[in-house]
Amino acid sequence: MIRHVYQHRVRYRECDPMGMVYHAHYVDYLEAARTEALRALGLPYRELEDAGIIMPVVDLRLRFHQPAYYDELLDIITIIRELPRARLHLDYEVRRHETQELLATGQVTLCFVDRARNRPVRAPRALLDVLQKALTSPLSTDGQP
């Protein structure tokens, strides 16, 4: 299992009139966490795009457990449990950094598309190689076993 932690401090503009993070911002948090997880593994999104592979989101699910508030530091944890074939499945946990209280959970599925042909393809070898290496490593990208 690969586990990567991305931290985000809640900005005032992300809060709704009730003082809580507006739910739609969680989608942005997951995207940022996913991007940084791939970067930490050694394969930034830019390299996949430069190779002609894009990764559109085909499914996204969120469940909210507790609200987050202005100026709180959040840990957005990206979890990759298996090697992708034609789709990459990611699990997420959003936690309050200070207490590790679970605020939200999510799942995102992306597919791989050849940009030039606009056709689905299998996971690129470069991605499979970095994921395989990380999945067989004793440590995740945040240093946690």
Q: Return the CATH number at 22.
A: 3.10.129.10
pLDDT of 39 over the 90 cut: yes
141 occurs within a structural domain:
no
Element (H, E) at 88: strand 87-96
136 occurs within a structural domain:
no
Closest CA to 77 of 99, 60, 94, 89: 94
71 occurs within a structural domain:
yes
Q: Whole domain around residue 111: which residue ranges?
A: 2-130
CA–CA distance, 30 with 76 (Å, rounded to integer) = 7
Q: What is the pLDDT of residues 50-90, one digit of tens each?
A: 999 999 999 999 999 999 999 999 999 999 999 999 999 99
pLDDT of 13 over the 80 cut: yes
144 occurs within a structural domain:
no
Count of the separate structural domains present in the chain? 1
8 A C-beta contact, residue 37 and residue 8: no
The pTM score is: 0.91
Q: Which residue has the tokens 């989608």?
A: 27
CA–CA distance, 94 with 103 (Å, rounded to integer) = 5
Buried b (16+ CB within 10 A) or exposed e, 87-125: ebebbbbbbbeeeeeebbbbebebbbbeeeeeeeeebbe
Confidence of residue 142 (pLDDT cuts 50, 70, 90): low
124 occurs within a structural domain:
yes
Task: Please state the rounded mean pLDDT for residues 86-107.
Answer: 98
The encoded tokens of residue 112 equal 């791989």
Amino acid at 51: A
